[in-house]
Structure 1
Amino acid sequence: MDLNYSPQDEQFRAEVRQFLTQNLPADIQHKVLNHLRLEKDDHLRWHKILAKQGWVGNAWPVEFGGTGWTPVQRHIWNEESGLAGSPRILPFGVSMVAPVIMKFGNKAQQDYYLPRILSGEDWWCQGYSEPGSGSDLASLKTRAERDGDYYVVNGQKTWTTLAQHADTIFCLVRTDPTARKQAGISFLLIDMKTPGITVRPIIMLDEEHEVNEVFFDNVKVPVANLIGEENMGWTYAKYLLGHERTGIADIGSSKRELNFLKKFALAQQKNDAPILADPHFAAKVANLEIDLMALEVTLLKVVSTEGKQKGPGPEASILKIKGTEIQQKLTELMLEAAGPAGLPFDPAYLSGKQAHSISAGDDAAPLAGTYFNFRKTSIYGGSNEIQKNIIAQMMLGL
């Protein structure tokens, strides 16, 4: 595989950098670069800017409104936008349910949902995990019983990210309780405004309302909202999770955070010298950078095979494991460099409401919250332990 960028790719990189310089709102960029919390409006503003440019569905086929970018161009976009401090486009609509609708949905579903995903008109959330059904997702208990032209859904989902903002949820439900657990699951699209849906917040260690419990009490869902065939949802779920795991690697954001770590560690003192000058700490940073470089090469190899197979294969599990380990290690080293200054955090500051009054010397203030938040990355999208099982079975034949 040729890892050198062509002149055309470098020209594309220059185009991306110019676009980001001219269009990325300064207040949103400030929040991302300084680990401050993004509001719903921040995500929507950036999504609509990209939608106007036609760059939201950059991995989508052209016939569905995609850009036609090559895998290398998509990697360049992800790298440059991450380094610039742009928010990651929320994946639930664009990168997760959209590929499922494209591959398994009917034309009416494609014509209705895909343009709304591109425009940002619909905010999506994911209804997979349940209490007691996380890593063993196939044991889910939320039921959908057919009643004429509707399914009646009862049950509970949990850890549902940003469901408090969502218009629509893609949901795994059990439609055949007598079948073996993987065989009796279906994939439904559910309007979050439907009577009988209750969203209850879960407040995390960093005091953020990011995840939720979602309850379904006799929720009527049109049969027309079933993706593909009844009881085939497990196949569609695995396809979706492959796309999710590939995106979790998020090389561009890790490069940005590595740059922050180096700059931050140069500014922190230990024994009257920058902590980055400490050989033991510097070795940790160097090893992390080597791991990130190796991950990038692996990612390029994986994305270069897209279009040649049905979807992301077990290699996505490698990206998910290593990508999340690197993300967590970055936050650990930031907190180590901060020392005692990184222990307290102020939720009002993290929300960005007081950002204008915070001096440059307060870089440490959000780091404990960031550290807490990133404990989740090795769990969502399928825990890293489960990913190792997938690699052992599908790649090593064990």
Structure 2
Amino acid sequence: MPQLRSRDTAAAPILECLPPAMQEEILSRLPIRDAARTSVLSRVWRRRWEPVPYRFLDWPPGTPTGTVDRVIARCAHPVHQFRHPYVRELDFGRFSLWLLRLAALGVRSVSAEFQYSNIYRLHPCIFSCSHLATLDLLGCKIQAPPPTFVGFPSLTTLSLSKVGFAQGARGLEALIFSSPSLRTLQLDTMSIPTVEVDGEEEEVFEQWVINAPNLRRLQITQNYYYGWHFSALPFLEVADVSGLFFGFYPADRDFLMLISALDQPTKLKLSMPFTSSDALEGLSPSFENLKSLSLRTQLCFPSGIVNILRVVKNAPKLEELDIEFMDYEDKLAEANINSLYAHCADDLFSNLTNVRIKGAICERNEMLLIEFLLSKAAQLEALDVSLSICCSRSAKDVLAEAAQYGRASPGADVTIKRYQYIP
């Protein structure tokens, strides 16, 4: 530690000898938190960092509000990024002032988390930030845009968590539509109100559309479906809607519409409907690019296996299959393995090399699916099964049963292990 202090003391005079313009250039290239740390170098450097025109304002937790005020007020050049990890309720008004200044400075990236959820009404000047490329917000309410708002032509990344809209779902729909360059969209636990039906408020959501023709990555983390559908997504590469509990999905036709619009990704994560019906009957698109598929489902009905097969047989390039079994909510209705063969072609699983199953309790339907995979996947290299804490069978017992199944790939490595809690 004494050596570190000695080095700092020796460095300070050297830095002070540099021309002021060079000092500013050095400081402006540092993250704001590192620039602020130069205040410990010497008395001369204590406030040297404050008037520098920073392009990346990434505030560390606990930064005094006054410091943010002074730096933003002195900014004379465009700001590329503003990030505040935690805006207290006491500072909501200050944030509005910061945002006004940032809009004038042509900010390109705004990321902020607000104390409490959906209380702070984001200042409408956010719509004046016409150069935004990234907007990342947690815990606020977005007001209606002014009539002069023409969109965010440069916005490529939109990440919203616990965010509400004064216009309801239509406000979110309009925000996405006004961002034609959008490449990444993340929606997490959005605050979307229900609508009234026959004068009474019910758990029904207004139907709206995610219209983002250039979208590459999509992630929706929401327990319940809240009325959204997709327009064409021709460039979508990665889609994750596995957070939805499709056991509560309003209708099979809605799920069919959803999955039919997600036929382009190479990587797809889904929650499957927990119903006794064949929810994917009539599924027509071919998931010709799909190489990695992750599913959350339960197999209390034979239709659970059939629905999995309907997706897989439309994915000829599928290489990796991950399945997470949810807890059963209904009495088990056993499937028949002969009926499963009627739903597949001879080349099903032709490119499948890795299967991972999580949360298995090894009831009959789950074991039938394992048997079916082993008997059909000729290129299979590994099948890993992680048993649920609710599974009454031992890993050794399950492995012994799986060893009796016929295998299309003799070299496939089958692993059965108990659930392990990782804190």
TM-score scaled by length of structure 2: 0.20
Q: Which has the higher strand share?
A: 2
Structure possessing the higher relative contact order (Cα contacts under 8 Å, 6 or more residues apart)? 1
Q: Which has the higher helix share?
A: 1
